[in-house]
Amino acid sequence: MSTTDTTDTAGAPRWPVPSAPPAHDPALFAQAMRDMRLTWRARGVLAELATGYHPGQEPTISELVSLTRAERLAAEGREAFRKAISELRGLGYLVPDSTTASGVGERLVVDLTPAAGAHLIRRRHGHSALTDGG
């Protein structure tokens, strides 16, 4: 069996593994990953979708939602994923790709512009587990 066989249901992804570095501003991405308006789940989904897929090769939302429990390795369910997508869309981190029709299978494009207004945890005076004063 070839390690590049993408039809292998035991481990090969349905879509290409990201092969390009993210094109997003690293500072804006870091702010997005610390935006307290987002749940941890939504941040994980945002990180997955912002990891350097070539245009048009990103998985669609319906492809991600349709992953079986075995493919997700018993991770959170479909409803949790849908809620994360809704959260990201509501804040503007995910916007519909203008080249696809809106709907269940739409491809969403990452937009990190909302990170400029991110709600971040402010550094506390002194040192604690939540600061980097180590």
The pLDDT tens digits for 90-124 are 999 998 877 666 555 577 788 999 999 888 887 76
Cβ atoms < 10 Å from Cβ of 93: 27
Nearest to 134 by CA among 95, 126, 75: 126
The count of residues in the chain is: 134
What is the predicted pLDDT for the residue at 65?
A: 77
More confident residue, 62 or 2: 62
pLDDT at 8 over 60: no
pLDDT at 40 over 60: yes
Provide the token pair at 129.
Answer: 């587990």
Pairwise CA distance, residues 70 & 46, whole Å: 22
Could you tell me if 49 and 93 are in contact, meaning their C-beta atoms sit under 8 angstroms apart? Answer: no
Q: Read off the amino acid at residue 28.
A: L
What is the predicted pLDDT for the residue at 92?
A: 94
Could you tell me if 75 and 92 are in contact, meaning their C-beta atoms sit under 8 angstroms apart? Answer: no
What is the predicted pLDDT for the residue at 50?
A: 85
| Percentage of the chain lying above the pLDDT 90 cut | 25
What is the predicted pLDDT for the residue at 48?
A: 83
What is the predicted pLDDT for the residue at 108?
A: 79
What is the predicted pLDDT for the residue at 83?
A: 92
**pTM for this entry:** 0.70
